[in-house]
Amino acid sequence: MKFERFLSLTGIEVELLIENRMYVDGEFVTNDETVATTDPATGTHLADVPVATEDQINQAVAAAARASQEWNSYSPVEKGKRLETFADALSEASDDLANLDVADTGSTIKRMQYDPEKGAELIRYFAGLITELKGDTLPTEGQTFDFTRREPYGVVAAISPFNHPAMFVGKKLAPALAAGNGIVMKPSEVTPLSALYVGHLVEETAIFPDGLVNFITGAGGVGQMLVEHPNVDLINMNGSVEVGKRVMESAATNVTDVILELGGKNPTIVFPDANVEKAATGAAKGMSLPWQGQSCSSGSRLLVHESIRDDVVSRVVDRFEAVRPDDPFKESADMGSIVSRQQYEKVLRYIEQTKEESAELLTGGEAIQPFETGYFIEPTVFEVAPELTIANEEVFGPVLSVITWSDYEEMIEIANGVDYGLTASVWTDSLQDAHRAIEDLEAGYVWVNQHGGHFTGAPFGGYKESGIGKKDSLEGLIGHTRLKNVNVNFEGGTHDWHSLG
């Protein structure tokens, strides 16, 4: 395994990253078929990871189902303690995990250093929520008693995206385990290394029953087999709308419940009374440039009122032009590399198509090459009409579309006129305008005078094609449970319901 550049920076022992191993039923397993992962900033080969077979997937699902029974024999307090202990292990490994993610994703260390700790924070949060899984008592008639109880699904199949690997381990594990489920997690085949490292932490800490947590690797076919498995009880998936729809189709085969967090084409809306400096800074920061715009919540559409359009846009362009794409391991790097050749080529196709559609290029728009190899693209801003492709489809790259508006109703129609509804931000000093927009926007998460701040405990999830379900919150924990109703008759005989009425 060629990991010299990475290892020299992190000091991780090579044996912790042995190639061709994934974590199934409490042990590491191998396979003859593998898929390579590379450092997108340099093109350097990092490792080969196994492509899970159908038998290995069956083993992982069976192990998760079995281990969840033992896990649920523990008291809620004991489960919480074990989750908190595992969160501590994740925190202790945060430097190693962050560096793995930088090598694997191409995103900057400036940003990725926070992801492992965010994953640990989520585990601690859900550990503390376990005792909130409560039922209700319901009013009845006669000598009967009716109550509800929350129960785990059983086996959760978790499919995570490529952009925040270590953080998504926490996002997926935490609610699944806190609710009492076993889990089979498949990280993106592009960025699997930190998930496999967490597999080592699961093995080393021995906190969970063997088989409760499983990591399988491979390309899309592996995920397809996992979500189609008849013994998977819940699917929790992050990714593109296209893949999400395929997951729903597969889930329909077994009538399996799904939680989906998919794409976004999120508007940053600037009203005429907004603070120009703050709005411009927020619009630039909201594009998630430290990870190359590869975020589902990025504010990739800037809808700015015509009266302050020039002042806001000129400042946004200045901020984009000040961004320095560089080696993502450098603390000075403002932006890193696109995650893969496939994603790089996709972003460039959108840029070229937008140029051909005669949109005005305000800055950027070209590939750049800080190294001999690597997938770097300039931060890019276009002035576009609302009907252009780039104003309606998720690019998932460092490309901002500027749209000017003059009428409120027109602006809301543009903001809501896409298939997505994940996030939005509103920039105004008017409480009336802010609340009017909050009510009218078709988005699951709305910021006012900021874009991108998200604290643990706030439900995150979208409308329309941006997904189903909420995460990072009590709602996210409840979403990993099933509701059972119980009706008890104290009269000592059968109730003749058919005689009623």
Sign of the Cα pseudo-torsion (172, 421, 389, 434, in order): negative
Torsion-angle region of 20 (φ positive above 0: left; ψ -120 to 50: alpha; else: beta): left
Residue type, 179: A
List strand residue ranges (DSSP E) for 290-351, in order: 301-305
| Residue-level length of the chain | 501
Sheet strands side by side (includes 423-427) = 360-363, 380-383, 399-405, 301-305, 267-270, 423-427, 445-448
Is 393 noted as a catalytic residue in this protein? no
Distance CA 294, CA 167 (A): 14
Query: Coil, strand, or helix at residue 112?
Result: helix
In the numeric block, which tokens belong to residue 408? 């409120």
Residue type, 439: E
312 phi and psi angles, rounded to 5 deg: -70, -50
User: Catalytic residue among 117, 189, 228, 261, which?
Assistant: 261
Burial of residue 237, with CB atoms counted within 10 A of its CB: 0-12 exposed, 13-18 middle, 19 or more buried: buried
Locus of tokens 């350097």: 44
In the DSSP assignment, the letter for residue 131 is G
94 phi and psi angles, rounded to 5 deg: -65, -35
Mind telling me the catalytic residues?
261
